[in-house]
Structure 1
Amino acid sequence: MEVMAYTWMLLSMYILGHCLILYGEANEAQALGNFLKSRLSKKPSPVLHFTAQLDVNTGFSHDYIQPQGGSMETDKIIALPGQPSGVDFNHYSGYVTVDSKAGRALFYYFAESPENSSTKSLVLWFNGGPACSSLIGAMTELGPFRVNNDSKTLFRNNYAWNNVANVIFVESPAGVGFSYSNTTLDYQRTGDKSTETDAYTFLINWLERFPQYKSRDVYITGESYGGHYVPQLANTILLNNKNTNQTLINLKGIAVGNGWIDDRTCYLGQFDYLWTHALNSDETNKGIHTYCHYFNDKDPEQCKNFIYKSNIEPGNIDGYNIYAPLCPIDSSSLTKTSSNSVNSFDPCSNHYMSSYLNRADVQTALHAKVSAWDLCNDSIHGGWTDSAATILPIIKNLMSNGIRIWLYSGDVDSVVPVTSTRYAINKLKLSIKTAWRPWSTDEEVGGYVVEYDGLTLVTVRDAGHLVPSYQPARALTMISSFLEGALPPP
């Protein structure tokens, strides 16, 4: 039985990885696909119980308080090139050293709230991949600015999450975006455990740099493979809060969007989503259910054939949002597709962001020390040392400790679809506190919500994998409700 289950997992990771690469230009999806393929030669990791102790096998130091070279004053951004007039909040960026011996440092961008920043909560944001930059979130999703189609100027995001909280975007792990290590071996031994430890070390040292936030309520948010990053970091915070010698972090909740949290239900949810959204034929769906039987293959060769068909049949679409347009291949057509409006999704926004962040004047303004910025670092995937097959035990532990947990899902994402999230929640066998109902923004249905005992599921209507990119107003309503501890408005 174990051999058959393992065969199915390897096959699924290979074929699904191929599928995700085919879809559009979704770099975070491509990173996830490449990562799954890289796991082919490795047995699935067991459920990982993170203890935040020294792991001699990784070589990563766990001395949390590290010597630092930066300060809050030197990290303050005077102005970003091309930023609009009337910027009414403070923002900062720079590096926090997480291992001084290895020379490993994580880059961050921090946007305070324009109003009442001295009392509002602190929100951390992580993009997924793994190994994709959180500046994707800052510059194309929930940050205060978006990049215009000239790749030189910025415009204001009226639905930025720093309207309701003080938001840190952390590029994690080292080797992603502007984050780096002077020990190149670090890039070949990165995994869930080291990423979680470095993220915790980052937060502890960041709070030393910004001590006024030490007593604030803290919320951790993210998307995609952030379904690993976010719960794992939260769990480590809980463990270390029991140590009287550590900084007490006032963790209140986590929110994960379209998160990869459980391998089996994610795979099952992908196939079912493709069929129920008319992207797979009846014959292919029947073949998968007949021959694959989910981790207990009846006929591995037939299973392989039907999974391949399942991933070819959708054609050249963007798996991040199955109804969204693709960015034109001809770069000369880019400016013709853009409206420079936060209310209109621009499929070429990644191109504008990448060009902007690779400008020397922008990097100087951001205090960046790395001259070449990219959305994701594929080279890290091959050295990813550990990845839990399921995060559900960690979620159970967070629930038992009273941590607010929201799993939200854009409903037109096929990479980590809402079906995968619902199947994962069903495995927890939770009782329902508030029955499924619609919620609204601007007198329109914004999505649907169901509150379970210890966990809330929120869907965001007509949103893809990067929810705030496609539905910024609905995303702001959703995250505002989360921070308030209330369900989205009916």
Structure 2
Amino acid sequence: MILPIWVPPHPFGTTAPLVLWLNGGPGCSSIGYGAAEEIGPFRIHPDGKTLFVNSYSWNKVANVLFLDSPAGVGFSYSNSTSDLYTSGDQRTAEDAYTFLLHWLERFPQYKHRDFYITGESYAGHYVPQLSQIVYEKNKGIQNPILNFKGFMVGNAVIDDFHDFVGTFEYWWTHGLISDETYQNLNIHCDLEVAEHASDECNKALDMADLERGNINPYSIFTPTCNTTVSTRRNLRSHRIRNLLRNRHLRLSLNYDPCTEMHSTVYFNLPEVQKALHANVTGVSYPWETCSDIIADHWNDSPRSMLPIYQELIAAGLKIWVFSGDTDSVVPITATRYSLDTLNLPTLIKWYPWYDNGKVGGWSQVYDGLTFVAVKGAGHEVPLYRPQQALTMFKSFLENKPMPHRAV
């Protein structure tokens, strides 16, 4: 069973689109991250017991559905324990599609609405794969209940080869690693293989860890959560893939780098679980933001999502990709290298976009895809730059380029 949280907008609930949000990992909770510290209507206070309003929640303009997937993530579960050890991309996409159909039967008022799929990090796999299934299932249907219009992903794992090239380059150009380590990473790490790194590659990655020091790789210019410094990096046998996992502590725009700890306290409160109709069986283990079992046994991860991009661009769907430019885990360089291989004609050249009179980032509009860079944002763009993220989301829904001028 996959646990969703649905947040309707106000006052536009009768006409607003339906938007699905997915966090990645693989194995991380969309409720723990997306809903609780990114785009949901509330954030969690440091006491782990009370909430405050997120003034820039996306439910101001859309009905937002947060989905914990695959089964075993967050409060979701399977009646077959073996499922936790056999998860992968294809089954995750298929289960999510089945869930959406059943959810719409439960809430038929949302059938035929404009429907979008959004997410970040390893959801760079989930989002296009689910989008492909919805698109193909809708073929030949005049008025589909999932009226799919397009997708948007941020700091997304897209293509292993270009992700790795761009990641190592970002580390080097931002002064995080030495010339020697940069050279060793490019020499010894097979940039087309995400799993089972060689001993020499692992040595180079170990040296990169040492040279970067105690920083938050998901937002390189903001402070770390000092209470968990020793546990933040656990790059075991799958070193390169772990670098792309959305599994570590996040930092708060309100200068609270321990926000994930607050979520862990909050979602383990019995009264919260009761209100969410979650953990009805009373499991013995605590709620966690991410599942190590699922992450460590992930068995299906294609090297590239670019073929799906090509298929859905040709189909005329709306596709936006955004990137926070202070993320060193899935950095902007990796994303730009991946998108460049699509060889799309440019409609609007690279330009600064504005929010509230200030540069919010940069954008380029291609024939079939819009790319948005968000200035000063880390891996979770809506966490670090919530106002700019909401401006971007509105532009996406309205199918308008990012604002060109300071107003």
TM-score range, shorter chain: 0.7 to 0.9
1:367 is matched with 277
Which of 438, 441, 444 pairs up with 2:352? 438
2:266 is matched with 356
TM-aligned CA distance change 1:302 to 1:169, over 3 Å: closer
Give, as a single letter, the amino acid of the residue that structure 1 aligns with 2:297: G
**1:292 Cα deviation from its structure 2 partner:** 5.5
Give, as a single letter, the amino acid of the residue that structure 2 aligns with 1:352: H
SS across alignment from 2:3:
strand
Q: Which moved more, 1:381-390 or 1:171-180?
A: 381-390
- 1:220 and 2:117 matched: yes
Which of 12, 24, 45 pairs up with 1:116? 12
- Report 1:231-310 matches (<5 A): 231-242=128-139, 248-289=145-186, 294-295=191-192, 305-310=203-208
- Report 1:379-394 matches (<5 A): 379-394=293-308
- 1:467 and 2:357 matched: no
Give, as a single letter, the amino acid of the residue that structure 1 aligns with 2:84: Y
Q: Is the CA contact (8 Å cut-off) linking 1:113 and 1:162 kept in structure 2?
A: yes
CA distance in 2, matches of 1:189, 1:228: 17
CA distance in 2, matches of 1:376, 1:113: 28
Give, as a single letter, the amino acid of the residue that structure 2 aligns with 1:129: G
Q: Is the CA contact (8 Å cut-off) linking 1:413 and 1:465 kept in structure 2?
A: yes
- 1:321 and 2:235 matched: no
Q: Is the CA contact (8 Å cut-off) linking 1:240 and 1:246 kept in structure 2?
A: no
Q: Is the CA contact (8 Å cut-off) linking 2:6 and 2:66 kept in structure 1?
A: yes
**1:311 Cα deviation from its structure 2 partner:** 3.2
2:2 is matched with 106
Deviations 1:219-242 (A, max 9, x none): 100000000000000000011112
Which of 91, 97, 106 pairs up with 1:194? 91
Which of 384, 401, 404 pairs up with 1:487? 401
- 1:166 and 2:80 matched: no
CA distance in 2, matches of 1:154, 1:395: 38
- 1:185 and 2:95 matched: no
Q: Is the CA contact (8 Å cut-off) linking 1:345 and 1:469 kept in structure 2?
A: no
Give, as a single letter, the amino acid of the residue that structure 2 aligns with 1:262: D
**1:368 Cα deviation from its structure 2 partner:** 0.6
- Report 1:379-418 matches (<5 A): 379-418=293-332
Q: Which moved more, 1:135-144 or 1:372-381?
A: 372-381
CA distance in 2, matches of 1:286, 1:385: 30
**1:416 Cα deviation from its structure 2 partner:** 0.4
2:243 is matched with none
CA distance in 1, matches of 2:402, 2:141: 37
Q: Is the CA contact (8 Å cut-off) linking 1:271 and 1:310 kept in structure 2?
A: no
- 1:143 and 2:60 matched: no
Cα RMSD after superposing both structures: 2.1
- Report 1:43-122 matches (<5 A): 105-122=1-18
Deviations 1:199-234 (A, max 9, x none): 000111111111111110001000000000000000
Deviations 1:56-86 (A, max 9, x none): xxxxxxxxxxxxxxxxxxxxxxxxxxxxxxx
CA distance in 2, matches of 1:245, 1:198: 24
SS across alignment from 2:64:
strand
Give, as a single letter, the amino acid of the residue that structure 1 aligns with 2:304: T
SS across alignment from 1:181:
coil
Q: Is the CA contact (8 Å cut-off) linking 1:345 and 1:470 kept in structure 2?
A: no
- 1:134 and 2:134 matched: no
Unaligned runs of 5+ in 1: 1-104, 332-341
2:233 is matched with none
CA distance in 1, matches of 2:178, 2:45: 40
Give, as a single letter, the amino acid of the residue that structure 2 aligns with 1:384: W
TM-aligned CA distance change 1:290 to 1:362, over 3 Å: closer
Deviations 1:341-389 (A, max 9, x none): x852421111111101100000001111255311001101233221111
TM-aligned CA distance change 1:355 to 1:381, over 3 Å: same
CA distance in 2, matches of 1:172, 1:213: 21
**1:114 Cα deviation from its structure 2 partner:** 1.2
Unaligned runs of 5+ in 2: 230-251
Give, as a single letter, the amino acid of the residue that structure 2 aligns with 1:285: Y
Give, as a single letter, the amino acid of the residue that structure 2 aligns with 1:388: P
Deviations 1:244-270 (A, max 9, x none): 599541111100000001111111111
1:125 is matched with 21
| Identity in percent | 49
CA distance in 1, matches of 2:261, 2:100: 30
- 1:312 and 2:312 matched: no
**1:429 Cα deviation from its structure 2 partner:** 1.2
CA distance in 1, matches of 2:295, 2:155: 20
**1:309 Cα deviation from its structure 2 partner:** 2.3
TM-aligned CA distance change 1:220 to 1:293, over 3 Å: closer
SS across alignment from 2:151:
strand
1:60 is matched with none
**1:187 Cα deviation from its structure 2 partner:** 1.1
SS across alignment from 1:428:
coil
Q: TM-score, with normalisation over the residues of structure 1? A: 0.73
CA distance in 1, matches of 2:101, 2:137: 11
SS across alignment from 2:39:
coil
Q: Is the CA contact (8 Å cut-off) linking 2:40 and 2:58 kept in structure 1?
A: yes
Q: TM-score, with normalisation over the residues of structure 2? A: 0.87
Q: Is the CA contact (8 Å cut-off) linking 2:395 and 2:402 kept in structure 1?
A: yes
